[in-house]
Structure formats: C-alpha cells, structure tokens
Amino acid sequence: MSPTMSLTLKVWRQANPTSAGEFRTYKVHSISPDQSFLEMLDVLNEQLIINGEEPVAFDHDCREGICGMCSLMINGQAHGPERKTTTCQLHMRKFKDGDTIVIEPWRAKPFPVLRDLVVDRSAFDRIMTKGGYVTVNTGNAPDGNAILIPKENADKAFEAATCIGCGACVAACKNASAMLFVSAKVSQLALLPQGQPERTQRVQGMVAQMDSEGFGGCTNTNECEAACPVGISVENIARLNREYIRATVVGLT
C-alpha cells in the first residue's frame, strides 16, 4: 500500500469578480500519490463542507485531459509541474509529503476571475465566432480519399486541431498573449481545402477580435508552447503571421 501524504495548500479565494481575493491556507491529510490533483481538491472540499465552510470553486468536466476546463496555476506553472499534462491528469506523486502547494486561477485581464479558481474564458469563444469554422456546404460525409491532401499538411492540421482551448498559453505568457491559441485555430483550417473559401476573412477577423479582447502580443519566449498540455508548436504562430500578411496583401489587390 502506497504511503499517504499530508500537504499544505495555499488556495486563492475570491467570492465574486468585484471582490478582493486572498490566499487561504488549508491542510489536507491522507492523500494518496495515485490520486489526481482534482481528486485532492475534492478531498479538500469534502473537508470544508464538513466544517461548515464554502468549498473551493474550480472548473472541471471530463477529467480525462480532453476538455481543457481544469485550468489552474500550480506553484506558478500552468497545469502544474508535469509537461504536456492537464491538471486533471496530474497525479499527486509529482509532489512530496509535507509540500506546500500554491493554487491560483489564470492571471490575465481577458480572463476575469468569476469565483475562487474559476475564470471567464468566453473571450476565446468570441474569437472562434469570428472565423474558427467553415460555412461551405459540404453535404454528406465524403469518402476519406475523395479530396487528396498532402500528408504533411494533414499531419500539421491534425496537430493544430488538438488544441483544447484551455488558456494555459495565455496564463504562461507575460503579455497574456493568445497567439498560440489563435494560430492553432487558423492553422487547422488554413492547411485544409475546406478552409480556403474563408481563409482571408478568417485570419483578419480572429486577429481583430483577439486584439479587441485585450490579449497582448507574442513575447517570442516560447512559454506558451512549454505550458501547452498538448504541445501545440509555436510554428503555428509563424504560420498565423504569414496568413495575416497574405490576407492584408489580398485585401489591397
């Protein structure tokens, strides 16, 4: 049987978007190294409820590393100390008995805190509505080999499509840039035939919305790629820049 751990948690508590938040310290015991980080927070909340206190609000959904909801800064790192891992797939064996763990929400102006560890990431949704889709009538699902796509393009489009929109790239960037997220969504469609009809409007619309939401510019430090739980490459940012320049030139002709 694995030994259990006792931990000190410093958790950001904030009642609502307009109230001042603060760190509060809690102790948790009998934590199994095989528990996930969210399961550890479940234990904390059970303890708080038993003591008549308000449980800590945090986002979660699938708990399978797919949805991107589990957005937490853990000891200053987006999603915690393990590379290419979402918070829900982070296990407590990455920590040691007696550790102090600081848990915060994403820190970015475009992601205002709603309560405790929950932030409003609807800015990403508004960016997506500006072009993260295709409106062409594709009819019934065609045969998989009906449209020939170079394997390199297909692979890159698939890799870009794995972005789960968690916002870790924004949280890790000192400028709160959303360039990695936007570039992944632009790249996914720019590399495929289905995305060509709206190629010009897409990149212009999404970049304009990104800027209007208050996201900063790219810092070129690659913190976004390092924090991304699925490893989206900064190569996509270079593609986004090329797509934007192309759209500008096309618009001038």
How far, CA to CA in Å, does 22 sit from each of 16, 75, 245?
12, 16, 44
pLDDT of residue 26: 98
pLDDT 10s digits, 166-183: 999 999 999 999 999 999
3-class SS of residue 72: coil
pLDDT of residue 253: 53
Residue type, 45: N
**Sheet (strand 5-13) strand order:** 22-31, 5-13, 100-104, 73-74, 77-78
How far, CA to CA in Å, does 184 sit from each of 67, 124, 180, 188?
16, 12, 6, 6
pLDDT of residue 134: 84
Q: Which residues pair with 9 in a beta bridge?
A: 26, 101
pLDDT of residue 138: 65
For residues 168 and 227, is the Cβ–Cβ distance under 8 A?
yes
Ranges of residues in the chain with a pLDDT under 70 are: 1-2, 138, 141-142, 144, 252-253
DSSP label of 51: T
DSSP-H helix ranges across 28-96: 37-50
For residues 237 and 179, is the Cβ–Cβ distance under 8 A?
yes
**Full set of structural domains in the chain with CATH:** 5-114 (3.10.20.30), 122-252 (1.10.1060.10)
pTM of the model: 0.92
Q: Which among 215, 238, 1, 37 has a CA at the least distance from the CA of 126?
A: 215
